[in-house]
């Protein structure tokens, strides 16, 4: 039995964009961690907040 794969020429680009976004989120989350005085226990909140900030920034830039 032969499996058909759909060739997606943009898959690699999307993968790279996802990696860049992940790196940007991690970087911003670390900045938030430092801004809070390096208090532990809020890593998840920092990541969510960073992701939200970057998505808002991206949405603002896309609408310009």
* 27 located within any domain: yes
C-alpha–C-alpha distance, residues 24 and 35, integer Å: 16
Residue 7 counted as domain residue: no
Answer whether residue 28 is part of any domain.
Answer: yes
**What's the pLDDT tens digit per position in 3-23?**
555 667 667 666 766 777 999
Its domain, for residue 30, covers 21-62
Distance (Å, whole) CA 12 – CA 50:
24
Asked, for residue 4, whether it belongs to a domain, the answer is no
What is the pTM for the complete model shown? Answer: 0.68
Where helices occur in the chain by DSSP H, the ranges are: 11-35, 43-62
Q: What per-residue confidence (pLDDT) applies to 62?
A: 80
- pLDDT of residue 27 exceeding 60: yes
pLDDT of residue 37: 96
Q: Considering only 2-11, 21-30, 34-43, which range has the smallest mean pLDDT?
A: 2-11
CA 7 to chain centre: 25
31 inside domain: yes
> In the prediction, which pLDDT does 50 show?
95
Question: How many structural domains comprise the chain?
Answer: 1
Within-domain flag for 2: no
Residue 16 lies in a domain: no
Residue 32 in domain: yes
């Amino acid at each position: 039995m032969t499996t058909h794969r759909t060739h997606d020429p943009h898959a690699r680009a999307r993968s790279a964009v996802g990696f860049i976004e992940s790196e940007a989120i991690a970087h911003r989350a670390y900045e938030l961690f430092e801004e809070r005085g390096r208090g532990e226990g809020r890593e998840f909140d920092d990541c969510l907040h960073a992701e939200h900030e970057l998505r808002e920034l991206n949405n603002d830039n896309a609408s310009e």
